[in-house]
Chain A
């Protein structure tokens, strides 16, 4: 168990809908990263937040947005969903200021768009 929690575990919705995925980082970790894992695109970095501020963007679509709240949990919002958005979405949190400086991944949310 990495200490990173994600809810829900599974999500089934229809095209055109909007969903929110939630991530709670490990205690004390200020950084949260979001990744998308699909069969055709592999594991892709979406976005990084540090202590409430956006730090880096990867291959994140304009229909997707994220935020990190004062309690450090983060939410990934996916809107106008398309069939191709079906994927596993992982968040990861990171130790800061340590020698290992590792990203710890949560168990993921499996999104199915019908």
Chain B
């Protein structure tokens, strides 16, 4: 029940395209859903986050869509750029502890 399932494992997108990464969870007690971006050799950095009382949150080119009834949430990266090439992790939080998805390696081709 603590698992967060993330897909796809890897994604190749052309510059200017839309990148979409999906996550699903089982435990309805999760109360915070962040997305982290990780570059090689660096620690994960918070990208954007949402709470379950909101269905969508947009920050610049990054949007989280949240479907509480389906227990799914997704990250959309609009106008994807080569600098967005990184590994993205979704996560779900319960009692201040994060459970991470398995990660998606995004490659944006110029």
- A-side interface residues toward B, CB under 8 Å? 2, 4, 31, 33, 42-45, 48, 55-56, 58, 90, 92, 94, 101-108
Contacts and interface: CB of A to CB of B under 8 A. Distances in A.
Contact of A107 (B32, B42, B49, B102): B42
A105 B98 CA distance: 12
Nearest to B32: A101
A48 B93 CA distance: 13
B70 interface: no
Interface residues of B, number: 20
A102 B34 contact: yes
28 contacts: A2-B43, A2-B45, A4-B43, A31-B96, A42-B101, A42-B103, A43-B89, A43-B103, A45-B97, A45-B98, A45-B99, A48-B96, A55-B96, A56-B95, A56-B97, A90-B44, A101-B32, A102-B46, A103-B34, A103-B46, A103-B98, A105-B36, A105-B43, A105-B44, A105-B45, A107-B41, A107-B42, A107-B43
Interface string B23-66: 00000000010101000011111100100000000000000000
A43 B46 contact: no
Interface string B2-37: 000000000000000000000000000000101010
A64 B44 CA distance: 22
